[in-house]
Chains A and B, each alone.
Chain A
Amino acid sequence: MNGLFERKYIIQGIFIAIAVIISARLFYLQLIDKSYLLSANNNVLRKMVIYPARGVILDRHGEVLVQNEPVYDLLVTPREVKEIDTALLCELVGIDHEGFVRRMNSARSYSPYKASQFEKQIPATAYAKLQEHLYKFRGFYVQNRTVRSYPDSVAPQFLGYIQEVNDRDIERSNGFYRPGDYIGASGVESAYEDLLRGQRGVKNVMVDVFNRPQGVFAEGRYDTLAVAGDGLVSSLDKELQILAEKLMKNKIGSVVAIEPATGEILTFVSSPGYDPNMMVGRERGNNYMKLLHDPYKPMFIRPTQAQYPPGSVFKVVAALIAQQAGTINAQTVFNCPGGYRYGGGRGFMRCTHVDGSIPLIPAIQRSCNTYFGYTYARMIDHRSGMPSAKAYELWREAVMKFGIGQSLGIDLPGEKSGLLPTADFYTKRYGNAKWGSGFNISLSIGQGEMGITPLQMANIMAIVANRGFYYRPHLIKAIGEQQITKPEFTEKISAGVDAAYYEPVIEGLSRAVNVPGGTGYSVRIAGIEMCGKTGTAQNPHGENHAVFFAFAPRENPKIAIAVFVENAGYGGTWAGPIASMLIEKYLKDTITLPKYIQDRIYNADLLPKPKTPKAAETVAVNRPPEATPKSEPEEEAVYVHHSLLSARHE
């Protein structure tokens, strides 16, 4: 031992000091700072979303309209990709080499360590082939999802479509949706989004440093199951819908059929349509643009968004409200010299016939303009002690009870209300309130500043069929397992006219079909008393639109229908047979109309030939593509301003 012995203590002291420093640091890391446990959990915990199956939509007989079909998303984790046969992969996925490089680059820029989408929605057939070779492609994974599938490709505008959510959807949903989610974008998919989408499940998975799943966290204690979306039962009759779409092929227009006793819509055709399967899968983007730029506007939901002057059907309404108001009754007779003279003889509204003295029933049957000119004059000009403007407001209120000029509340987005001007509109137009029936006489026959949708027209027929009331027309009759019907669709709504006043009108409509010489005589149905009429919706832009509206049978009616064929001219030629066939098919499950008439309808091509058809000049697109601003284009009622001279029929 030498004198340096005590240096032992210094050295040991240094050892102890260092150990204390290390311990102090550990004390801080492990006991004071609590953030590291969180960081460690963030490292390994991944919340995996389990997508629920979207609700299936059935028709009224339980036939499938929309179902789900599995597709496969191919994911890639760029860091793990090593020495793969790119040519083979490109071939299997159906992309070219440039596409491969582009996808890899975008995946890499997202994250080299995290999986991102390489190719979306690979159909099951392509997936089968890909799966065989997948083991060769390190770093590629498949995640299955479901997409919508439409087995019969029917009712595209009614069903609508889904699309990936955009930033605005996400913001509006308070974070419910996440990028990559799908949301109903039009039709029922949009209207019933909250029910159809179901509830996402969450699975807490632990991953390793390469983001590879390593098992469930905490034995699944924090996991939630996905809840499938509610199924919907539609009011549509699939058979009838398919037939109607077939009949409307190569024609522009609408067919709406309603079950009067319930307000359930049996047929909802907007023509031209498209195959709803086009809005699914990898070609969706291209198809969407194609449909958007189609000159015949297949995305336009004509039954609820197209507005036409109602024409003849309005005479039915006019007759009913005039009786209720007491200005005419079933026996009231007017003289028709072939037209209605008004404004002190300055104006003349022509009639198609010279009928002489004509009572109400034939007036309906023969659609006498003169009769309803007088009726309108009595309603507006001769209400006791009432200025015209005031009388007009009363008249307008009565008309609105038939669903004209207000939206009916159908369960589809974007329904139009139609057009029915207020008294103020005319006061403003003529500078003072001293106007009378002569100033807007065309309203008496459903022309001029009046517009209704095909749905509203069918609903008027339902009101007549019911003799005075209707249920809100709707497309979904039952929701979910409990088959719930929305309460607003079970509420009986009165049209404000007593049942007794309907009989002469119905008699007139029946005669129009069932008495030789009636406008609908050629499409009458043996064994069924159909009540209906042809009509013509004036079109200032070209050929008039053919209209047929009807209900059947007369007693205990089962179906009310409105058929519009745009630019088809006279209603009896095109719209009548279509309505007749549909009614017969629905009531008797057969069609007895002569074969040659049927073939003529099936084979007709009534699409307007000019490059820009007059069908619909503005289109209400519920969801414009991402690039355009999201404001919903406000549609003008383009059909009604056909003439500022409407009060000067010559």
Chain B
Amino acid sequence: MSNPHRQRLFGGDVDWFTILIWFVLCVIGWFNIHAAVYDPEHPSLFSMSTNYGKQSIYIFSAIIIAVAMLIVDAKFYSSIAPVLYALTVLLLIVVLLVGRNVGGNQSWIPLGGFRLQPSEFAKLATCLLLARYLSAQSNKTPNLKSLFIGVAIALLPVVLVLLQRDTGSALVFFSLVFVFYREGYISSQWLLIGATCILLFVLTLVFNQWAVILVLAAVCGIGVYLSRKKRKAITGLVFLFACATVYVLSVEFVYENVLQSHHRNRIDVVLGKIDDPRGEGYNLHQSIIAIGSGQFWGKGYLQGTQTKYNFVPEQSTDFIFCTVGEEWGFVGSMVVIGIYLTLLLRIVNIAERQRTAFARIYAYGVACILFFHFAINIGMTIGIVPIIGIPLPFVSYGGSSLWSFTILLFIMLKFDANRKGIV
């Protein structure tokens, strides 16, 4: 920040490092989209009709959007939050009525030659409103009432998005749990319990439920033995064991009756319970082959046969990481993951340096959403989470996704640039 003029640009200290990361990710995305749709028979240099041609336009307009986000007065975002939230909810209802069905999800609103995906913008609106509401409560001690209202703010879009059968986008909102954690609404134990629940869920599906209960009983038994002098601890352990047992026993029921069959199949594929590389497991199988065949250095730009010849499905959107893995290898994958991790840690640092609770909570919301997309998107391409159709922020092809993530990020940067002023 040596240049005083630049410091004053957009009315504050703009975090150029984050902007650089954002831009690098966009460029990486563009090249990989080009590789993914590259047709070796017609290697035309550049065409606006192709995905990478369109993505150039999207990136260009994202830059304009980014600048606009930095120009707008920071107070505006705070004041518009309820309106924006209401508007998004309205759009989510509209999309249920007039939405175009794309790939099984009824989540697009056709607008002329252009399609709008309201769920992308719901993340932004939810973050803003949640930040506004929780920051308004920040001078009190966290209480159940504000927790419930906060959760309600996050859950309303979840319900509406789920109605569009867009499970992936709905799950994103659950990442906001870290916001509540950071703000003290949830204690570390609950985080631990949540993690344990996920672990038990997976273990129960992989192994027999009775085997899981048996192991739990053994662990509790050891615990009871070690703390045999403390009655209270024993009661707690027994209570925990009882809860866990009920939970484990209910897993199968929930799995078979609440989840839809294609969700079950996707989970079964990841758990290795379905071995069907031609049917249910085809996408994952081809995705792993693409990434695995990249080896250390990758096959080279435009040399990935898995992506070039369309073995990988959705390769410029949800499975864009396959192109990275295949053509740039382990080295390229590590670079991309490194960049993402840097971005995420940077955002958390930015969040913590904010003076207002509003800006901090919002920044945490951004971090959570980006983190969830990053972990789930890459995780699904390498087979450690079930296939959930959500894009890799800034890298995947698509205008709606690129713009909404850009807006999300640059509003945060605006707050950060203004952090020394008063919001």
Q: Which residues of A contact B (CB under 8 A)?
A: 1-2, 4-5, 7-8, 10-12, 14-16, 18-19, 21-23, 25-27, 29-31, 33-37, 39-41, 43-44, 206-210, 214-215
In Å, the complex CA distance between A15 and B344 comes to 7
Give Cα A30 to B382, complex, Å.
Answer: 10
Partner of B292, one of A14, A23, A37: A37
Q: A36-B289, A40-B306 are in contact. Are A22 and B183 (CB under 8 A)?
A: no
Contact A30 B325, beta carbon cutoff 8 Å: yes
Q: Which of B334-353 contact A (CB under 8 A)?
A: 334, 337, 340-341, 344-345, 348-349, 351-352
Question: Are B182 and A40 in contact, CB atoms less than 8 angstroms apart?
Answer: no
The complex places the Cα of A328 from the Cα of B309 at a distance, in Å, of 89
Q: Report how far A201 CA is from B311 CA in the complex, Å.
A: 28
A35 vs B293: C-alpha distance when bound (angstroms): 8
The answer to whether A15 and B345 touch across the interface, beta carbons within 8 angstroms, is yes
The distance from the CB of A55 to the nearest CB of chain B, in whole angstroms, is: 37
A27 to B291, CA, bound (A): 11
Q: How far is the CB of A211 from chain B (nearest CB, A)?
A: 10
* Alpha-carbon distance between A208 and B296 when the two chains are bound, in angstroms: 24
Residues in A neighbouring B378, C-beta threshold 8 A:
22
Which of A15, A37, A39 is close to B371, meaning CB atoms less than 8 Å apart? A15
On whether the beta carbons of A30 and B375 are closer than 8 Å, the reply is no
Q: List 14 A-B contacts (CB under 8 A).
A: A11-B182, A11-B348, A15-B345, A16-B345, A23-B334, A25-B383, A30-B330, A31-B330, A43-B306, A44-B311, A208-B309, A209-B310, A209-B311, A214-B309
Across the A-B interface, the 6 shortest Cβ-Cβ residue pairs: A36-B292, A208-B309, A40-B293, A30-B330, A29-B292, A44-B305
* A43-B305 contact, Cβ under 8 Å, with A12-B345, A16-B341, A35-B292: yes
Tell me the bound Cα distance from A336 to B291 in angstroms. Answer: 101
Contact B384 A21, beta carbon cutoff 8 Å? yes
Cβ B291 vs Cβ A22 within 8 A: no
Q: Is the CB of B352 within 8 A of A19?
A: no
Cα A208 to Cα B308 with chains together (Å):
8
What separation, in Å, do the CA atoms of A27 and B331 have in the docked complex?
10
**Which residues of chain B from 195 to 242 have a CB within 8 Å of any chain A CB?**
none
The CA of A4 and the CA of B364, in the complex, are separated in Å by 13
List the B side residues contacting A14 at CB < 8 Å: 178
Query: A77 → chain B, closest Cβ, in Å?
Result: 15
A22 to B374 CA separation, bound complex (whole angstroms): 10
Tell me which residues across on chain A come within 8 A of B382, comparing CB atoms. 22, 25-26, 29
Known contacts A8-B352, A23-B334; A209/B309 CB under 8 A: yes
User: A108 CB to closest chain B CB, in angstroms?
Assistant: 15
A34 to B296: give the CA distance in the assembly, Å.
Answer: 11
Q: Chain B binding site: helix, strand, loop or mixed by DSSP?
A: helix
Contacts of B291 in A (CB 8 A): 26, 29-30, 36
Q: Is B333 among interface residues, defined by CB-CB distance under 8 A?
A: yes
**Contact code string B271-301 (vs A, CB < 8 Å = 1, else 0):** 0000000000000001011111111100000
What's the least CB distance linking A534 to chain B, in Å? 75
B325 contacts which chain A residues (CB < 8 A)? 26, 29-30
Q: Known contacts A30-B291, A209-B309: does B341 contact A15 (CB below 8 Å)?
A: yes
Contacts of A4 in B (CB 8 A): 182-184
**Can you name the residue of chain A whose Cβ is closest to the Cβ of B382?**
A25
B375 adjacent to A206 (CB under 8 Å): no
Minimum Cβ distance to chain A for residue B116 (Å):
31
- Check B329 for interface membership: any CB of A closer than 8 A: yes
Q: How far is B127's CA from A223's CA once the two chains are assembled, in angstroms?
A: 59
Q: Are B295 and A31 in contact (CB under 8 A)?
A: yes
Q: When A30-B330, A37-B292, A209-B309 are in contact, do A15 and B182 touch as well, CB less than 8 Å?
A: no
Check if A33 sits within 8 Å of B292, measured CB to CB.
yes
- The winner among A11, A27, A41, A206 for most chain B CB atoms within 10 A is A11
A636 to B363, CA, bound (A): 99
Q: How far is the CA of A215 from the CA of B308 in the complex (A)?
A: 12
A16 to B375, CA, bound (A): 11
For residues 376 through 406 of chain B, which have their beta carbon under 8 Å from a beta carbon of chain A?
A: 378-379, 382-384
Determine the residue in chain B with the shortest Cβ distance to A22.
Answer: B378
Chain A residue nearest to B311 in the complex (CB): A209
- In the complex, the answer to whether A215 meets B40 with C-beta atoms within 8 Å is yes
A12, B292: Cα distance in complex, Å? 28
* A22 contact from B181, B308, B375, Cβ within 8 A: B375
- Residues of B near A208 (CB, < 8 A) are 308-311
Interchain CB contact (< 8 A) of A43 among B289, B292, B337: B289
Residues of chain B lying within 8 A (CB to CB) of residue A1: 352
Contacts of B310 in A (CB 8 A): 208-210
A22 in contact with B345 (CB, 8 Å)? no
Nearest neighbor of A11 in chain B, beta-carbon distance = B178
**Cα-based distance from A21 to B374 in the complex (angstroms):** 13
B188 at the A/B interface (Cβ < 8 Å)? Answer: yes
Bound Cα distance A21, B384 (Å): 9
Interface pair A30/B371, CB less than 8 Å apart: no
Give Cα distance in the complex from A26 to B379, angstroms.
10
Instruction: Using CB atoms, name the residue of chain B closest to A10.
Output: B188
B295:A214 contact, CB within 8 angstroms:
no
Please measure, in the bound complex, the distance between the C-alpha atom of A208 and the C-alpha atom of B306, giving whole angstroms: 8
Task: Name A38's closest neighbour in chain B (CB-CB).
Answer: B293
Complex: chain B residue closest to A30, CB-CB = B330
A220 to B296, CA, bound (A): 25
In the complex where A7-B181, A26-B382 touch, is A19 in contact with B337 (Cβ < 8 A)?
yes
Within 8 A of A (CB), among B4-60: 40-41
A42 (CB) vs chain B CBs: closest residue: B289
Within 8 Å by CB of B289, from A18, A23, A27, A40, lies A40
Report the separation of the CA atoms of residues A15 and B183 in the bound assembly, to the nearest whole angstrom.
18
Partner of A31, one of B296, B306, B326, B364: B296
Q: How far is the CA of A41 from the CA of B191 in the complex (A)?
A: 44
- Cβ contact of A8, chosen from B188, B289, B305, B348, cutoff 8 A: B348
B44 CB to nearest A CB, Å: 16
| Chain A min CB distance to B286 (Å) | 8
Chain A residue contacts of B294, Cβ below 8 A? 30
Report yes or no: B305 in contact with A37, Cβ–Cβ below 8 A: no
Query: Nearest Cβ distance between residue B290 and chain A, in whole angstroms?
Result: 7
Give the distance to chain B from A2, nearest Cβ to Cβ, in Å.
8
**Are B293 and A36 in touch, CB under 8 angstroms?**
yes
